[in-house]
Amino acid sequence: MLTNIKVDHLLSSSLKDYRHDQISICKAGMSWQWKSVNFQFLHPPNMAEGKSKLSCNNSSCVLLVQHPSGSVLLTGDIEKPIEKQLIKAQADLLDIDVLIAPHHGSNSSSTHAFIRATSPNYVVFATGYRNPYGFPDEKVVSRYEEFGSDLVNTAAHGMITFNFSDKNGLQLQSGYREVRQRFWHSKF
C-alpha cells in the first residue's frame, strides 16, 4: 500500500497493519506543530501494544488539527463508547469546525451527545459510491441534519477540500467531481 508514495514516518494504532521502517503507535497526548497548525492525538490512551482491550475500530487514532481559522477532528472508526470517553476526557477540545464522521457514518457512532459536543459546522462522510454497508446510515445523516451541520460525502462529491486561511477563514471548496465533471454527467 505504501510502495507508490514516499513516507518518512507512519503513525498508526497498530504495528500489524503496515510494513514500514519508521512506524509509531499513536497515543493520546502526542502533539506537534507545523507552521501555524497544531496536531494532537486525543485517542487511543497510552497503553502497550497488544495489551489494549479495545476493538480494532475503537483503537483508531483520533487526531485534532487546529489552525487559527478552524479545526478538524479525524475520528477513524471509533464507536459510541469511545465517543463517550472523548466527551468526558476531552470536552474542552471537541468544539470543532469540520468533523470527519466516525466510522464512515455507521449507526455504531455519531451519537446525539457526540454531535452536540463537537458542534461541527461541516461533516464529511468518507464513503465509497454504492458501498455495501450503506454508509452513511440514514439515522446518522438525520442526526447531523437536526443539528444543522452542512454535510458532504466523498461518494457524491469525490475529494473534499477545505481551505484554512488567516485572511479568508474556513472555506469548503467545490468537490472534485463538480470541478472535474465528465461530459457524460452533463445535462443535455
Look at residue 155 and tell me if it is in a domain. Answer: yes
Q: How confident is the model at residue 188 (pLDDT cuts 50, 70, 90)?
A: low
Instruction: Between 88 and 137, name the one with better pLDDT.
Output: 88
Look at residue 7 and tell me if it is in a domain. Answer: no
Look at residue 22 and tell me if it is in a domain. Answer: no
Give the mean pLDDT of 139-166.
90
Q: How confident is the model at residue 179 (pLDDT cuts 50, 70, 90)?
A: low
pLDDT of residue 19: 67
Assess contact for 137 and 107: CB atoms under 8 A.
Answer: yes
Assess contact for 80 and 60: CB atoms under 8 A.
Answer: no
Assess contact for 100 and 72: CB atoms under 8 A.
Answer: yes
pTM of the shown model: 0.85
Look at residue 164 and tell me if it is in a domain. Answer: yes
Look at residue 16 and tell me if it is in a domain. Answer: no
pLDDT of residue 17: 65
C-alpha cell belonging to residue 40: 494532537
pLDDT of residue 165: 86
Domain CATH code at residue 144 = 3.60.15.10
Look at residue 6 and tell me if it is in a domain. Answer: no
Look at residue 13 and tell me if it is in a domain. Answer: no
> Considering its fold, how many domains does the chain have in total?
1
Instruction: Between 31 and 160, name the one with better pLDDT.
Output: 31
Burial (Cβ within 10 Å: 0-12, 13-18, ≥19) of residue 54: middle
Each residue of 60-100: pLDDT tens digit?
A: 999 999 999 999 999 999 999 999 999 999 888 888 999 99
pLDDT of residue 2: 66
Each residue of 3-59: pLDDT tens digit?
A: 788 888 888 887 776 666 778 889 999 999 999 999 999 999 876 544 456 678 888
Look at residue 140 and tell me if it is in a domain. Answer: yes
Range of the domain at 128: 27-185
pLDDT of residue 125: 94
Instruction: Between 115 and 173, name the one with better pLDDT.
Output: 115
Q: Please, what is the Cα angle at 30 between 27 and 34, to 5 degrees?
A: 140
